[in-house]
Structure 1
């Protein structure tokens, strides 16, 4: 997750990056962060890390996956600090009539993430879409559904596309929505660190053209100062 969280940020123009990681293995994470140009690394894990980022470091956004406790902490602080999405516990749904051994391997791989991982094989695309899983694997006849999937964090198609390949090497970001959030949001990416700022500049003639519309709508909403702000200029 470190590379997938940190990688897009500087490309998007983020100037300050703070990393929190559980103490166990923190030295390795710090070394990897250094290779990515990040020096601000704290050996803090769990909900405590979320609180540290939100109220001590006072970052502008918190991203990254975690367990149920981390997700609850992210949702709790989201009233004060924007978050990417609740990511975790891990989920995989397998659909299709592929090799039973491959199906079992995909389910077993996700179980390695913990006892609360969601690992299911389903019979129809409708069942898969209702779950809106983090990972959806399509095998056999179900491979034809790839272009029809709307609710999944990421889709792996065919017998040569294990989820583990996406974990480590395909290049797709693997910080993905769980708990049904794939119905409304996608995975972490460059756009996670971007925000639009609109700039509006009107000419005198342009304002005069739209003034009747503005004044009529302002009157309908009972906002006379809105109408007057336009009327005084035209």
Structure 2
């Protein structure tokens, strides 16, 4: 009987960017709407602030992800170039270095030398990238993918509290946006935890707590400035 294990580590790149984007979209837009509404401004001003926050936030997330992941990709590429040079200049040293890594993992010296030799004959750079540097194909930095995932997720997340604010003008706007946004965050946390194979309750509670704190602090600031004005 065959045994198939479902691993989820290959999802870490796009999952991190998507969850971060959606979480920021919900929290920042809901907090912005609540803060502006708490300052006793008009419904039109609240909606304008929410739309501006959505557009600015999506662009900021895309740019930030692209720059940060590009820096990671540049570092990975620089390490690979150094490894290429070392492999060309001193292959025996690199083979011994790889064998030593396997010995530290519990392989006998003789077998470690044979494994290192066979792996280097097949794909020397790939073997050193994976086992010496720690770069794998599944975890390799992809700036464009991270930027698009993050921007799209932010837009979707930000649209949720914005729609609630549009549908619920009046004195209950703040409560409706806060309540629904916390539900959205709980759902996002549970979904992200499920996709990553983690406990859903813990994921939902973690995201909801920080979202509630952000909205409460923003509402407090908005009410203080509203009274001051």
Fold shared per TM-score above 0.5: no
The TM-score, its normalising length taken from structure 1, stands at 0.26
**Greater percentage in strand:** 1
Q: Identify the structure with bigger relative contact order (alpha carbons < 8 Å, sequence gap 6+).
A: 2
- The structure that is helix-richer by fraction is 2
